[in-house]
Amino acid sequence: MKKIACSVMLACAGGLFCAQAAWAQAADPAWPLSDLRLAGQGMMRFLGFDIYRARLWVRPGFNPEDYAAHPLALELTYQRDFSAQAIAKRSLEEMRRVGTFSEPQAQRWQQALQAALPDVKAGDRLTGIYQPGGAALFHLGGRVVGQVPDPEFARLFFGIWLSPQTSEPSLRQALIAAPRSTGTP
């Protein structure tokens, strides 16, 4: 388990809102976002291989065009094994699509993310928690595994999936499907 002091990455619970709320409370009584609802889900694929299933959990009133103004949780259920180093490196590459940051920031963020993340195995669920203006907090198996205490990092990190500049627009659309089609999650 990585230390919380440096930290980061993603696990909620699947299916229905009631199941999610029950899981959140059972897994962590201090869960900060127990009133979240499933907004959408999709599969990340690369060269035909399933990489992870993503699920987005939001509160009523979530506006995907202003995702950074809303608390949310993003769950990734990995279909393959990955090292924390590989996840951190790829995350920083994707964050550059969302916004600009300096090379010293990139180095600090990559080190913090790599320190926060565990190596993942197929079937692991890693959940990232986003609170506007706060740290990016990461849970694995109902335990906090790390955080990156930089609001700019958190905004850009969750932008990997939610920003219009994402490299995976179809996955973004699947994640924000409910808010877009009904106005509420």
pLDDT of residue 18: 31
The rounded distance, in Å, linking the Cα atoms of 162 and 39 is: 12
Q: Quote the pLDDT of residue 33.
A: 63
Query: What percentage of the chain reaches a pLDDT higher than 90?
Result: 74
User: How high is the pLDDT of residue 141?
Assistant: 83
Domain 17-182 = CATH 1.10.760.10: no
Between residues 29 and 95, the one the model is more confident about: 95
User: Domain map of the chain by residue range?
Assistant: 17-182
pLDDT-based confidence at residue 34 (cuts at 50, 70, 90): confident
What are residue 11's phi and psi, to 5 degrees?
-170, 115
- Average of per-residue pLDDT values in the chain: 83
* CA angle, residues 91, 94, 96, in degrees to nearest 5: 115
Q: Is the pTM of this model over 0.85?
A: no
Per-residue pLDDT tens over the stretch 106-138: 999 999 999 999 999 999 999 999 999 999 999
